[in-house]
Amino acid sequence: MGTLSQDQLNRALIERQLLRERAGQSALAAVEHLVGIQAQEPKSPYVGLWSRLTDFEPKQLEDLLTNREAVRMLLMRGTIHLVSARDALGLRPHTQLRLDRELQSGPFASRLRGLDLDEVAELGREILQDTPQGTADAGKQLRRRWPDREHTVLGNALRNKLALVQIPPRGLWHRSGRAVCTTVENWLGRPQQAITKDELVLRYLRAFGPASVMDAQQWSGLTRLTETFEALRPQLVTFRDEAGKELFDLPDAPRPDPGTPLPVRLLPEFDNILLAHADRRRVIADDRLGVVVGGKPTVLVDGYVVATWSITKDRAIAVDYLDKLPRGKEKAVAEECDRLRYWIRT
C-alpha cells in the first residue's frame, strides 16, 4: 500500500474526468462515464461537456434530451443531475432513502406532519403522468384533497417521493423553460431497476478515484458503504493519502505522474469534480470552497481552482482571479476563455 500525494490524486481525477485531453467519445458515453453531470443550472452540462469532449456541439445534448436518451432529475446528494436513461432508472432507487429522510427533517417537515406521504405520492403520480406540469401546480390540485396544506409543501413532497424528470424544453441550449415534470417511468416507458451497490462504487472509482469510503458517500449521498467497499476489496487496490487515510481504486485505472502537464479548463457551476469527495483538496483548497457553494463557474490551472469566470452582458468571458498568476498562465486562461466565447456565439 503506497502513499499518493495531493498532486497524484489531482492528476488521477483530472484524467478520469476527461479534463487533461478532450475525449473523442459521444456525449452519451461521456455522461455515462461521468455517472451524470450536475445540472442545477440548465446550461451547465453543455459547458461541462464542451470542456471534456472534442467537437462537442449543443445539439448533441439537446438530441439526447428530446429523444429521451438522457434526462434531468433529482439524484445524487438530492440535486438535479443530467444522466442517461439507463442510469436514471438504475441510480434513482438508491436516492430514495435520503430523500425520504429530507422530508422528515428538512425545512418542510413540520408542515408535512400528519400527512400520509404515500397517498400524496400516489395521487401526485396520477396527476403528473396524466398531465406533465410543475410540482407546485400539481400541489394546487392536491389541495382539493388536503385543503389545509400549502400547495408548495405538497409539491415538495412529490419532488422527493416520486422519481420525476424535467422534460424538454427545460434544459435545452437554445431555448429552455420552467421545470415541467412527469415520472421517469412514464417518460421512459420502463420501470426503475436499481443497479447494485457494487456497480455504483466501481463506476464512482472509475470516474473519481482513488477515493475513500467517505468520498463515495459524499458523492452519492448514501451512507453505510463500508460493507460494499469491504466486499469489493479483493478486486481493488489500496493506497494512503498524505494524511494516512485509506483510498480504494481499480487496478487498471489511470494514475498519471504528478508532474503531468495540464491545460486550462473552464468548469460550469457545481461541477461534480468539485463536489464528489469528502476531502476536496485534490482540486480546490478548503478556504476556497465558498466559490463552489456560491455556484460560481471555476477555472482550473495546473489542475487546481485558481479563479472564477462569468459571462458578461456582451457575452465576453470575465475572469476573477483568486491568486496572481504568472503572465504566461493568465494568457493561457485568456485563450481558453476566447475559445469558449467563440463556441457560445456559434
Q: In angstroms, rounded to a whole number, what is the distance separating the alpha carbons of residues 226 and 249?
A: 14
Contacts of 315 (CB under 8 A, 6+ apart): 341, 344, 345
Indicate whether 236 belongs to any domain. no
Indicate whether 103 belongs to any domain. yes
Mean of the pLDDT values across residues 251-277? 97
Indicate whether 37 belongs to any domain. yes
Indicate whether 303 belongs to any domain. no
Least confident of 8-17, 100-109, 173-182: 100-109
pLDDT range class, residue 346, cuts 50, 70, 90: confident
Q: In angstroms, rounded to a whole number, what is the distance separating the alpha carbons of residues 339 and 305?
A: 19
53-112 pLDDT per residue, tens = 999 999 999 999 999 999 999 999 999 999 999 999 999 999 998 999 988 887 878 888
Q: Is the pLDDT of residue 114 over 90?
A: no
Q: In angstroms, rounded to a whole number, what is the distance separating the alpha carbons of residues 171 and 115?
A: 33
Indicate whether 133 belongs to any domain. yes
Indicate whether 162 belongs to any domain. yes
Least confident of 13-22, 173-182, 184-193: 173-182
210-230 pLDDT per residue, tens = 999 999 999 999 999 999 999
User: What's this model's pTM, rounded to 2 decimal places?
Assistant: 0.95
pLDDT of residue 112: 86
Phi, psi of 61 (to 5 degrees): -80, -35
Q: How far from 110 is each of 79, 139, 313, CA to CA, in Å? A: 22, 17, 42
pLDDT range class, residue 302, cuts 50, 70, 90: very high
Domain that holds residue 48: 26-188
pLDDT range class, residue 176, cuts 50, 70, 90: confident
How many domains, in total, are found in the chain? 1
132-154 pLDDT per residue, tens = 999 999 999 999 999 999 999 99
Q: In angstroms, rounded to a whole number, what is the distance separating the alpha carbons of residues 232 and 255?
A: 20
Indicate whether 259 belongs to any domain. no
Q: In angstroms, rounded to a whole number, what is the distance separating the alpha carbons of residues 331 and 319?
A: 12
Indicate whether 116 belongs to any domain. yes
pLDDT of residue 50: 98
